[in-house]
Structure 1
Amino acid sequence: MIDTFIRHSEHQGAMSFKVEVIEKISALITAAFGLVAALAWNGAIQELFKLIFGDQSTLAAMLVYAIAVTIIAVIATIWIGRAAAKAKDEGKPAAK
């Protein structure tokens, strides 16, 4: 009986470890794709700034770029968070 319990516990531990490894790899791959997308957007936004403001590589121009991108990122993060919360609430059963 104890042997059965130990084998079951070892099996559960191995499955739990396997699931945890898969979840971590999934998170890392997702983060990697996010970084690639961020770098692509960074290049596109830099070119847009060059088109609008000219080829300025001064500290002031870089600060304006960094501030603008930060503001856009904050607004997008808030917007996406609200959309995710709304979708999550829509998936819940109605309270009686």
Structure 2
Amino acid sequence: MAKKSRDFSFHKELIQQLVTLSTSAFGLAAALAWNDTIQQTVKEFIEPRIPGLGVLSRFIYAIIVTTLGVVITFQLSRLASRWGIKK
């Protein structure tokens, strides 16, 4: 009986790791897509209206990305704590 319990825990751990890996892969793909989208938005809408931004446009981009990252991470952490998911 103990052997079956260990086998089940191995499969459970394996599935948890696969979920983590696939989530990370999709997260990276989404981050790259948003990266291009935000960069293009800054180039098309902010740089033409305020010429000569250069480095400042990169700061605006970094602030947007950081804000999105913090808000999304905060919301996911709240959701995980509501569901009792340990970090």
**TM-score normalised to structure 2 length:** 0.69
Aligned length: 79
Rate the CA distance shift 1:25–1:57 in 2: closer, same or farther, 3 A: farther
2:25 matched to 1:32?
A: yes
Rounded to whole Å, the distance in 1 between the matches of 2:5 and 2:72 is 41
Rate the CA distance shift 1:14–1:66 in 2: closer, same or farther, 3 A: same
Tell me the percent identity.
Answer: 35
**TM-score normalised to structure 1 length:** 0.64
Q: Which residue of structure 1 aligns with residue 2 of structure 2?
A: 9
Q: CA RMSD in A?
A: 2.7
Q: Which residue of structure 2 aligns with residue 20 of structure 1?
A: 13
Rounded to whole Å, the distance in 2 between the matches of 1:60 and 1:46 is 13
Q: Quick one: higher RCO (CA 8 Å, sep 6+), 1 or 2? A: 2
Once the two structures are superposed, what CA deviation does each residue of 1:17-46 show, in whole Å capped at 9, x if it has no partner?
Answer: 111111101111011111111111111111
Relative to its length, the structure with more helix (as a share) is 1
Once the two structures are superposed, what CA deviation does each residue of 1:43-81 show, in whole Å capped at 9, x if it has no partner?
Answer: 111111111123878333212210122123323444555
Q: Structure 2: where are the runs of 5+ without partners? A: none
